[in-house]
Amino acid sequence: MSKEEDKLLDHSYDGIQEFDNPMPTWWVGLFVLTIIWAVVYLFYYDITGIGETQLEEYHSELAAAEQKYGGGDSGSEAEIEIALMSSAEDIAEGEKIYKMNCASCHGQTGEGGVGPNLGDKFWKHGGDFKSIANTIIRGVPEKGMIAWEPILKTKKIVQVTSYIDQKLRNTNPPNGKEPEGAEYQGE
């Protein structure tokens, strides 16, 4: 077996000469495999339509996530039936939701922080049950509170509203933020 000799081309660019060697076999093989893969991909996704497109895959994953975790309700406020939930399970679930989503701004005990104090009797957007629920549903974008309707199901919104109404309201937590809004006398 004879070893190939390097062949020097007879032209020069700025004093640099180049060799005329063949490409490495593994490199050519990789190139051919890439071309074959591209043809298979083209047939699988575009011509036959067997594979899901990115958009179809996104929609199927979104539907699976909504089924697993529960998406927000699409109903408007007029369609949403808001009523106080008083069972221990609903209040406990409302507390979990509050601590996970609300406590970072309103404090663990509703004392306020970035958001207003929920443990006193002063309310900026109405202190009755429906007003609290509507504030959670719509949010207060000018103050940085997002609308929770697209994120939480109606039942979860009512559970957290029930928790605020029954467990945080009028508790006057220590280190509470100064009162904001109008005094709410009760229902």
DSSP 72-127: -----TTT-------SHHHHHHHHHHHHHHTHHHH-TTS--SSSPPSSSSEESS--
Q: Which domains does the chain have, with CATH numbers?
A: 8-69 (no CATH), 88-183 (1.10.760.10)
* pLDDT for 89: 92
What type of residue sits at position 179? P
Q: Pick from 137, 122, 129, 134: which is nearest to 187 by CA?
A: 129
C-alpha dihedral (46, 49, 50, 54), degrees to nearest 10: 70
Indicate the length of the chain as a whole number: 187
Low-confidence ranges of the chain (pLDDT < 50): 1, 74-80
For residue range 57-108, what is the model confidence (pLDDT) as tens digits? Answer: 999 998 888 887 765 554 444 344 567 788 889 899 999 999 999 999 999 9
Structure pTM? 0.56
